[in-house]
A and B are shown apart, each in its own frame.
Chain A
Amino acid sequence: MAIGGVRAVAAQAPASIRARLSVLLDRDRVLGPLFVSPALFLLLLLVAYPFCMAMYFSVSNAFIGRPSHLVGFVNFINLWKSDAFRQTFQNAFVFTGAAVACKIVLGLSLALLLNEQLWWKRAIRGAVLLPWVIPTALSTLGWWWMFNSLYSVVNWTGIAMGLMDPPGPNWLGQKYYAMTAVVLVNIWRGLPFFAITILAGLVAIPKELYEAAHADGAGTVARFWYVTLPLLKPVLAIVVLFSTIFTFSEFNIVFVLTHGGPVNSTHLFATLARQIGLESGRIGEGAAISLYLFPVLALVVYAQLRFVRKEVY
């Protein structure tokens, strides 16, 4: 089609090359693919191709610096035999479930507060959003120091307020406390996204609906339950879907805070994949672990395309 178009134009317009080119570029059929091709090339080469490689690696015995062979599902079977992987699998769901649940509740509360008349609106919004814009690896270093076994400011405050017995928990050295710490930092970093996005949803709800509900005798709770929540549902769905995929694939916080320890109790797929695939060099197994992120990704993509975005793409 495109070649036929070129000839037709060339025959009609025996003007300069420049003029011919500009006529050609006015055609959607020509300009469209031309404009999209750099993005497409990049994403095919550096996203689609590596993704296929990941699939190949996961069924091969790839090892750093060695030729690889297909070995079938050996990597997946070996993974299920290893305690570290089974622990990671469980961690991923505990971590994501706990963090996303807390972020919804806290994010919604914070958004409702931010939607009120405030004195320092801009400053407050700016402060609330700050954890989300600062490099996570660096802010997590701050949390690492706050959870330090000897000088933890969290424990100092807890003890000073009489909430903890001295010396307080060794946050990053004990199994459940370490998971709590990792979840807490994830909530801290992800809360702004929830709050600000939900706030945008709240602002979009027409005031008249509240006035009508008020006139019909609905109290604050009823108005929240029957007006706010139903109208907020699409925004909540999007926020939860986005957050699920990014929480499930979390890397930075765990890597900086605990390195997956103590005894794998905070490993997530991404951190275990790095440890096995790069630090131990077993790329095949590492790739297999990474691919466990894929079903969740696929589910989120499907839900986004199917239910959330009416106008697809």
Chain B
Amino acid sequence: MATVGARRLGRRIVIHLLLVPFLIFALFPFYHMALTSLKQDKELYDRQAVPLLIRQGATLEHYAKLLWETEFLTWTKNSLLVTVLATTVSLVIGTAAAYALARLKFFGVGGIGTGIFVTYLVPTSLLFLPLAQVVNWLGLGDSKWALVVTYPTFLVPFCTWLLIGYFRTVPKEIEECAMVDGATRIQALWRIILPIAVPGLVCAALFAFTLSWNEFIYALTFTSSSEEITASVGITSELIRGDIYFWGSLMAGAVLGSVPIVVLYVFFLDYYVSGLTAGAVK
């Protein structure tokens, strides 16, 4: 018995050792990013120094520079505004569409469902050129509102798709019981189905938030002035100005720009795991 136990333990240790390269691959860029953002310039640009550690003392000067000498706070505010609004709008539109497609019988339901699935696969990089024209016609050129309007084009299909799966798992009988007892369909949806589907809604909201916070190509194309751009665009474009000593602030920006997502991620890890697989596999 002891040998079986020992063999199992040995196997477990080997598995963990095999995981180490994968973990280093996944995490090292973040470690290096954070490290660089905390290093003093003189160590950062010392080619004799070991780049994997901080030996000459950490500093917050890059963060200070980023926060007080650039428009970083404005960009972050824009990102938050766009993300929260686009997520909310998409969640409402997506929930309604998903409920209709999962539960109601009406003309064209199959075709519309397929259509929404197809738009879910359309990459943003296919449409950004003509969409820029549409945005100009709507009078939203170089405005963060252009992003609030366009982000739902990829968020709504995603939310709809994810929520159709959740609504289908709720037994029809629950709803029918409520309706037999005199509730209207909308009351049944509001009081019974939505409360049951809360995990699905949370999951959809998290993914919508993450997708729009991380969006880059539309933000880069539709906005350009410093007051309108989002965090990702600001950090990648405005901090690079031919100045040699910008790496510290650049990495500080990359770290801070990821903070909202990391916070959500730490609290809702399980939702991320389930949503990722649901989006593809359901």
Residues of A near any B CB (own CB < 8 A): 1, 22, 25-26, 28-29, 31-36, 38-40, 42-43, 45-47, 49-51, 53-54, 57, 106, 110, 113-114, 116-119, 122, 124-139, 141-143, 145-146, 148, 150-151, 153, 156-157, 188, 191-193, 196-197, 200-201, 235, 238-239, 242, 245-246, 248-252, 255-256, 269-270, 273-274, 277-278, 283, 286-287, 290-291, 293-294, 297, 300-301, 304-305, 312-313
- Of the candidates A31, A42, A250, the one whose C-beta lies within 8 Å of that of B93 is A42
User: Which residues of A lie under 8 Å from residue B180 when comparing CB positions?
Assistant: none
| Apart from A32-B106, A51-B126, A110-B19: 8 A-B pairs, beta carbons within 8 A | A35-B96, A35-B97, A43-B119, A49-B134, A51-B122, A51-B130, A118-B12, A126-B266
Residues A43 and B121 in contact, CB atoms below 8 Å apart = no
Q: A38-B96, A142-B254 are in contact. Are A32 and B109 (CB under 8 A)?
A: yes
B118 is an interface residue with CB less than 8 A from chain A: yes
Partner of A201, one of B19, B51, B281: B281
Contact at A293–B19, with CB atoms within 8 Å? Answer: no
Is there an interface contact between B131 and A46, defined as CB atoms closer than 8 Å?
Answer: yes
Q: Which of B19, B130, B247 contacts A54 (CB 8 A)?
A: B130
Q: In chain A, what residue has the closest Cβ to B95?
A: A35
> Known interface pairs A119-B12, A142-B251. Does A35 touch B99 (Cβ–Cβ under 8 Å)?
yes
Question: Given A50-B131, A53-B133, A278-B132, does the pair A134, B22 have CB atoms closer than 8 Å?
Answer: no
**What band does the interface of chain B fall in when counting residues whose beta carbon is under 8 Å from A?**
35 or more
Q: Is B104's CB under 8 angstroms from A32's CB?
A: yes
Interfacial residues, chain B to chain A (CB-CB below 8 A):
11-12, 15-16, 18-19, 22-23, 25-27, 29-30, 32-33, 36, 44-45, 47, 50-52, 93-94, 96-97, 99-101, 104-107, 109-110, 112-119, 121-134, 149-150, 152-153, 156-157, 160, 179, 184-186, 210, 213-214, 216-217, 220-221, 231-233, 235-236, 247, 250-251, 253-254, 257-258, 261-262, 265-266, 269, 272-273, 276-277, 280-281
**Among B27, B100, B127, contact of A47 (Cβ-Cβ < 8 Å):** B127
**Contact yes or no, B257 A138, CB < 8 A:** yes
* Cα distance A106–B21 in the bound complex, in angstroms: 11
A151–B47 touching, CB < 8 Å: yes
Contact between A135 and B214 (Cβ–Cβ < 8 Å)? yes
Is the Cβ of B129 less than 8 Å from the Cβ of A287? yes
Task: Give Cα distance in the complex from A49 to B216, angstroms.
Answer: 22
B106→A29 contact, CB < 8 A: yes
When C-beta atoms are compared, the residue in chain B nearest to A312 turns out to be B114
Contacts of A36 in B (CB 8 A): 96-97, 100-101, 112
CB of B276 within 8 A of CB of A197, answer: yes
Binding site secondary structure of chain A? helix
Residues on A with C-beta less than 8 A from B15 are 113, 116-118
Contact, CB under 8 Å: B156 / A42: yes
Q: Which residues of A contact B44 (CB under 8 A)?
A: 151
Which of B30, B107, B116 contacts A39 (CB under 8 A)? Answer: B116
A112 to B109, CA, bound (A): 39
A46 near B150 with CB under 8 A, answer yes
Q: List 7 A-B contacts (CB under 8 A).
A: A33-B100, A36-B96, A46-B131, A116-B12, A117-B12, A126-B266, A278-B132
3 cross-chain pairs, A with B, having the tightest CB-CB distances, nearest first: A313-B113, A32-B106, A270-B125
| Nearest-neighbor residue (CB-CB) of B219 within chain A | A137
Contacts of B100 in A (CB 8 A): 31-36
What is the minimal beta-carbon distance from B100 to any residue of chain A, in angstroms? 4
Could you say which residues of chain B place their CB within 8 Å of the CB of A245? 121, 123
Once the chains are docked, how many angstroms separate the CA of A238 from the CA of B278?
A: 12
